[in-house]
Amino acid sequence: MTEQRDEKGKESNGRVALKMVLIVIAMFGFGYALVPLYDVICDVTGLNGKTGRVGVEEATGPDLDREITVKFTGSLGAGTPFEFRPSESSLVVHPGQPYTTNYVAKNLTGRQITAQAIPSVSPSVASLYFNKTECFCFSQQMFEPKESKDMPVQFIIDRDIPKHVKSVVLSYTFFELKDNAGSEPD
């Protein structure tokens, strides 16, 4: 394979194959790159109900002319031995004003369990404007046997939320973290 091009200027078979293998490796990497890309796109656009974390426009004060109903739901991941529900089913809020509510969780087993809540907001257009300043979902929660906990979530709905949004659903799914899943970042 000393000469890379023959007299007609064509590349050798080996070079063509090598280039194609590089494309294959790049596309295999692209498949994996889709994972962070997907998260970034969801975060930037607020699609998929992934919520913003920090309130940014607290200073402007509440918009007392608007009322939005926030409904709370809670569900359990498959095989999670808990009781899990919101302490109140809904709240009427003004955009721009911080509110706090609680979720109640109880470990039904006789062993120690670590669990984590995964949030979702719908409609997805609202998720960009739904800012949680404090949330039990930010960290893993440890439960002693039979322990029951009240877990707070503090949120502000951004004043710029589109006018047609009259109600928002905040839902959490509560998952038991198995040993291996606990080592996952994020």
Does 186 contact other proteins by CB under 8 A? Answer: yes
Q: Which is nearer to other proteins, 31 or 110 (CB)?
A: 31
The H or E element that residue 132 is part of is strand 130-135
The answer to whether 17 contacts other proteins (rule: CB under 8 A) is yes
From residue 81, give the alpha-carbon distance in Å to each of 33, 108, 135, 142, 179.
35, 6, 22, 14, 16
16 counts as binding other proteins under rule CB under 8 A: yes
Query: Binding to other proteins (CB under 8 A): which residues in 46-65?
Result: 47-48
Task: Kindly state the tokens that stand for 32.
Answer: 């994996």
Q: Which is nearer to other proteins, 111 or 178 (CB)?
A: 178
* Site of tokens 């509110």: 99
Do residues 141 and 95 touch, judged by C-beta distance below 8 A?
no
Q: Which residues bind other proteins (CB under 8 A)?
A: 6, 8, 10-13, 16-17, 20-21, 23-25, 27-28, 30-32, 34-35, 38, 42, 45, 47-48, 77, 116, 118, 124-125, 173, 175-177, 179-181, 183-186
